[in-house]
Amino acid sequence: MANKIVEVAPKLYLNGFPKSGTHLLDCMAINVMAQANPSDNWMGNVDKSGFGTHLIHMDTFPKMLEEVPMHRYVKGHLAWDKNIVQSFIDNHWCQVFIFRDFRDVAVSMAYHAQKDKEGTNFPKKGKYEEMEYTEVLKRVITGDENISGVMDRWELYAPWLYEDWVLKFDYGDVMGNKEGAGEWFIKYLLEQTGQYLDFRPEIDGASYNKLMHRIMYRLEQPERSPTYRNGKTGDWKEHFTKEHKELFKESDKNNWLIRLGYENDRTW
């Protein structure tokens, strides 16, 4: 096989719960296959650029998935839906889904609302630029008239965790073991391709090493993404006040921090 998996890889969707590091998935995918639309490679189904809870394009999304050429990838913020799941499977898609500690999501989202020069896709961004950061962070946690709260948004994405054909990444795990993440990514594409084509494609050692080198090179430069900030896990500890903590606990009604292993109990 040549030095790319593109010859056999099916379609690939990079799904990120915003803001959880979709750019990290892009760093891996760009080495494997081409973008479906280099000028605008985003394709999602959540309003307000993923910061709302209203689903959009639901009638047309299955057709959009069907029309993407083979051996191409797209990315976006995609809420779970049973009809979309079936369309993914029927049209030979792979999906990689990334999420992270939701408190870090809140911190990153608040920063995005205020300071990202490229963050013009944030709903009514100018409104938040005039606020104190602590106030923006509260609104990100609870939601307001323009955006939905972090945990309300998460509930739309959570069912992807239970789709066994989807590769899931925790942002902290990727940052802590980039090489391992790259290896899992390649293994997943090979295995998923094999299920669609009824054989397991192989990649020779030299090509595998070259591919891993390219993936690692990009993963070591996440700042190339316009929405990258600092990449730290646990950054919320430097920003959450007691009030933020209480508001977040109230919003996490289904104990996702505990269920996903970020906390052992609600006393944090």
Domain assignment of residue 261, yes or no: no
d(CA 47, CA 198): 37
**pLDDT-based confidence at 149, cuts 50/70/90?**
very high
The per-residue pLDDT for 6 is 44
Domain assignment of residue 54, yes or no: yes
b/e per residue, 82-94, with b = 16+ CB within 10 A? eebbebbeebbbb
Domain assignment of residue 15, yes or no: yes
- Residue 122: both structure tokens together: 């944030």
Pairing assessment for the beta strands 72-76 and 167-170 based on DSSP bridges: unpaired
Domain assignment of residue 126, yes or no: no
d(CA 266, CA 258): 8
d(CA 145, CA 7): 47
Among 240, 241, 215, which Cα is nearest to 101's? 240
Domain assignment of residue 81, yes or no: yes
Domain assignment of residue 255, yes or no: no
Domain assignment of residue 86, yes or no: yes
Residue range 145-159: mean pLDDT, rounded: 96
The per-residue pLDDT for 112 is 85
Report the CATH number at residue 98.
3.40.50
Q: In the chain, how many domains are there?
A: 1
Pairing assessment for the beta strands 11-16 and 167-170 based on DSSP bridges: unpaired
Residue 69 phi/psi, 5-degree rounding, is -65, 155
The per-residue pLDDT for 224 is 54
Q: Please determine, for residue 249, whether its predicted confidence score (pLDDT) is greater than 60.
A: yes
Residue range 136-145: mean pLDDT, rounded: 96
d(CA 112, CA 115): 6
Can you give the residue range of the structural domain that contains 168? 11-102+151-230
Any idea which residue has 């608040």 for tokens? 110
Domain assignment of residue 53, yes or no: yes
d(CA 73, CA 38): 10
pLDDT in tens, 44-71: 999 988 889 999 999 999 999 999 998 8
- Residue 91: both structure tokens together: 């049209």
**pLDDT-based confidence at 120, cuts 50/70/90?**
low
Among 227, 157, 164, 220, which Cα is nearest to 16's? 157
Residue 91 β-bridge partners: none
**pLDDT-based confidence at 241, cuts 50/70/90?**
very high
